[in-house]
Amino acid sequence: MAPRRTLLTAAASALLLLLGAAPARAQEDWPNKPVKIISPFPAGGTSDVMARMVAEALGRELGQQFLVENIGGAGGTIGTLRATKMAADGYTIVQTGVGQNAVAHGLDPKLQYDSMKDFVHITQVHSGPNVLVVHPDQPFKTFQELIAYIRKNPGKLNYGYTHAASGHMAMELLKQVGGENGQPLFIVGIPYRGGGPMMQDLLGGQIPMMFINQDTALPHIRAGKLRALAVTSKERNPLYPDTPTIAETGVKGYEALSWSGISVLKGTPKPIADKLEATMKKIMASPEIRQRMESVGFVIPEQGSAHYTAFVQSEIDLWTRVIKTAGIKPQ
């Protein structure tokens, strides 16, 4: 009987070794089936463009399909929440960004996901400024002239915004830090339900100014239909070399960015997360991606999980503070 027990013990041990090796092999083989990238915004916008660029590049590098699934709604929070319900097996990648992973926390204290606890942030993909633009009929030729007028004439100038968009946040931050003698700037906001109608009113002169993404603003500026006064990044943007930053015009430390990155669900095996991070670093360093991004004014930030994780936390802190000070509520 002893030889039989020894044989059974050996067989059981071998089975346990096989079972333990299976997950390790699966992680080493990742990806061995199509991978889904959840983009929590509709097709066609900047977030979707970035997600598809990443999907295409990952597919080339890793020899597997990376498929973008657009789940829009509620400023990106619907798709992000749905992503948290999926398996943390490396076959769901989540596109994270300023709206759904920073602004949303300031707007809704009861948000049903936690951007720092529910995700492993792999790397930032892009950042881009907003541009402060005015209608050319306005007398303001520089940012300093505009701010001087607002300070002397509180409440007499208005601007357009869409609720909780990056342009809205950029203006709220400027109002809070751009005043003097401890007083905020007093500018009247006119809400719009979408960027299209707001742009039509700006081009038509119904509203004098607003913040807008740099890629959307450029054709109108080149056509002379809008005038750019300042950008919201800390460094000048390559598309706007002659347009100063708000920080360099006297509002020290001012920065308000639109950004996105990729993350995976907490619990995703570390070897998979590490492989994805290494692959993304390679992709984002390629001349092709750099040229594609910079041609429309986007900046490739510092890469890697450590940097992106710290950056997301800093953005949550910033926009939660701005939103609380402004008293902005969810809609």
Half-sphere exposure of 138 (CA within 13 A, CB side): 28
Q: How confident is the model at residue 156 (pLDDT cuts 50, 70, 90)?
A: very high
Specify whether 193 is located in the same domain as 286: no
Encode 144-178: b = buried (16+ Cβ within 10 Å), e = exposed.
eebbeebeeeeeebebbbbebbbbbbbbbbbbeeb
Q: What is the mean pLDDT of residues 50-74?
A: 97
Half-sphere exposure of 190 (CA within 13 A, CB side): 17
Specify whether 123 is located in the same domain as 266: yes
Specify whether 86 is located in the same domain as 149: no
* Residue with more model confidence, 68 or 3: 68
Specify whether 165 is located in the same domain as 310: no
Location of structure tokens 């603003």: 217
The predicted-structure confidence for 12-33, as pLDDT tens digits, reads as follows 555 555 555 555 565 689 999 9
Q: What is the pTM of this model?
A: 0.90
Last residue of a domain, one of 226, 249, 272: 249
Specify whether 122 is located in the same domain as 165: no
At residue 12, the pLDDT reads: 52
**Residue 13 in domain:** no
Q: What is the mean pLDDT of residues 82-105?
A: 98
The predicted-structure confidence for 137-153, as pLDDT tens digits, reads as follows 999 999 999 999 999 99
**CATH number of the domain that residue 34 is part of:** 3.40.190.150
**Residue 204 in domain:** yes
At residue 31, the pLDDT reads: 98
* Residue with more model confidence, 180 or 320: 320
Question: Which stretch of DSSP H or E encloses residue 161?
Answer: strand 158-162
Structure tokens at 180: 């003097």
Asked whether the beta carbons of 83 and 44 are under 8 A apart, the reply is no
Specify whether 139 is located in the same domain as 238: yes
Encode 180-189: b = buried (16+ Cβ within 10 Å), e = exposed.
eeeebbebeb
Specify whether 134 is located in the same domain as 243: yes
Asked whether the beta carbons of 48 and 41 are under 8 A apart, the reply is yes
At residue 208, the pLDDT reads: 97
User: Of 71, 17, 10, 65, which is closest to residue 39 (Cα–Cα)?
Assistant: 71
Specify whether 111 is located in the same domain as 172: no
Specify whether 33 is located in the same domain as 123: yes
Last residue of a domain, one of 222, 249, 276: 249
Q: Which residues pair with 65 in a beta bridge?
A: none
Domain interval for residue 61: 27-128+259-326
**Residue 289 in domain:** yes
User: Of 218, 157, 227, 223, which is closest to residue 185 (Cα–Cα)?
Assistant: 157
**Residue 4 in domain:** no
At residue 23, the pLDDT reads: 55
